[in-house]
Structure 1
Amino acid sequence: MDIFTIDGSKFMIRLGISLLEKCRNIKYEDVNDAASWWSKVRSITHSPNFVFDDVLKRAYGFRGISKLPRQLNKRIPQRKDIDRMIHSNQKHVRKDVEDSNAAIVPTFPPIEYINGDIPSELVKPTLIRSKLAEWLPLALKSSVLELIFSTGEHGRSLEQFYSHCEKSKQTILLLEVLQTGATIGMYASDPWHVDGQVYGDGTCFLFRAMPDPVCFKWKGGGGSGPSATNADVELAIEELALVENFMTGKSSYISMGINREGGSGLRLNEDLTKGMSSYTVSFDNDPLAGENVTEFDVGLVEVYRLL
């Protein structure tokens, strides 16, 4: 373990080459698949004559490299060095704790927004626009925000929401959580519209902009493997359906993400007054509105398109 900590993957390569040399006497005519090859290797490495130290020394004897103990003595940190690193890290941790309540300094240039006829409210804080610039796909980081829907101007109905958003790809929805004062939202890759199927793609994400900004991006899906059983395949298909549930647009609600109980990462009802946020398989997210806050009243809702 000490050697792996120092050399990383190089150690595994050296060890593998050394084992191959140790197994050079295998009769390859008896090897016709991977299973028989590993069976031969196990028969050698598990035999009473196998000495791991010899393999290790051989691994560090290639190309004239000095003997293992001498090499490790030069590279393994001494106790005093470790103590010094621990002390230094403790100082950094203490400083982080002391600064935990300090204001968050934006690390990305804030994305700009257009001051149009409808006043923008939720994107005014520089920190929010800086975080949006950080979270957006690379090609959109230099975009400009234009407000296309606001409940303060257009009223609280999904009909109005769809009419103002159905022609705009790549939009950001932000809303106020009245119980906690949080500003949360979601980035949509496709235009919001009523559809019997889910839509969108893996660039969609959920976020909390304030307080404690955090972004939850799509986690992707995995395969079932070549030796999977029918049950494994069925489970993988079910999992994929959950994972790839990006955007849902109905006449009675909009949502993003889903979990096995039917909850959503973010969901708004038909009059945009009630919201829900739960953990989802799609984004592996925390409830956006706050700890243990899965249902909440919605204040201002704004939707911006990216230009």
Structure 2
Amino acid sequence: MSKNHGRTGEDWELVTVEDGRGRLPLDTDKDPEGLCEIVAQSRILDASLVRELSVELPPRTVGHTWQLAYSTSRHGSSLKSLYRRLKGSDSPVLMVIKDSLNQVFGSFLSHPLRPSETFYGTGETFLFMLLPRFKCFRWTGENSFFIKGDLDSFAIGGGSGHFGLWLDEMLYLGRSSPCYTFNNCCLSERDDFHVMELEVWKFW
């Protein structure tokens, strides 16, 4: 980030090309709706991480309150429970994972996670890394393997038998691999990881 002092003496914060976001000047005074409440409820996110993620979210989430729909610490580690908590919702969801190596990553889903016979979702869906570094992986247009929910696992992104993000039915064993959908790297330090905390946020 760099600051330019204009002729009027106002401070403008500019996002440079090196930030990799290619966005217009960012007004960091506009925090997400209910930022303090989000941080108070989350066991993963602090204010700076919420702000970083908020910049990347689609316009239709702006002005909506983040609602914690599911967390493993509150609701147990069960994919079926997660499906039940999201049933009937049409809100996009933000899934954030903290693994056993204290790395934080996840995915924004254009539609709620649910059991499905085929992949569903739209190009709004993306994968991200938050800690130890921040990076987003957006839709490449190579395929439409966005979201797939089975009774014993779920997957985000795919191609050639590899999923960008995959979790088992206990939401404990996970795997991340490069995939054609998002052209992502492995989100965790290791291909296979253990989930220490998982949170799913809705917007309303």
TM-score, normalised on structure 1?
A: 0.54
Amino acid at match of 1:111: P
Report 1:53-132 matches (<5 A): 108=28, 109-113=30-34, 115=37, 119-123=41-45, 125-132=46-53
1:187 paired residue number = 108
Q: How far is 1:145 from its partner?
A: 0.8
- Alpha-carbon spacing, 1:135–1:281, altered in 2? closer, same or farther (3 Å): same
1:303 paired residue number = 200
2:146 paired residue number = 246
Structure 2: stretches of 5+ with no match in the other structure? 1-25
3-state SS in 1 of match to 2:41: coil
Alignment deviations for residues 243-300 of structure 1 (CA, whole Å, 9 cap, x no partner): 210000000111100131x12111110001111111010000011113xx11001111
- Alpha-carbon spacing, 1:172–1:305, altered in 2? closer, same or farther (3 Å): same
Structure number with the higher helix fraction is 1
Query: Using CA pairs below 8 Å that are at least 6 residues apart, which structure has the higher relative contact order?
Result: 2
Tell me how far apart the structure 1 counterparts of residues 102 and 88 of structure 2 sit (CA, whole Å).
30
1:284 paired residue number = 183
- Which deviates more, 212-221 or 155-164? 212-221
Amino acid at match of 2:149: G
1:160 aligns with 2:62: no
TM-score, normalised on structure 2?
A: 0.80
Alignment deviations for residues 136-168 of structure 1 (CA, whole Å, 9 cap, x no partner): 112323332110101111111111010001323
2:162 paired residue number = 263
Larger radius of gyration: 1
Structure number with the higher strand fraction is 2
Identical-pair percentage? 27
Structure 1: stretches of 5+ with no match in the other structure? 1-105, 222-242
1:177 aligns with 2:76: no
1:196 aligns with 2:95: no
Tell me how far apart the structure 1 counterparts of residues 84 and 131 of structure 2 sit (CA, whole Å).
28
How large is the Cα RMSD of the aligned pairs? 2.0
- Alpha-carbon spacing, 1:244–1:188, altered in 2? closer, same or farther (3 Å): same
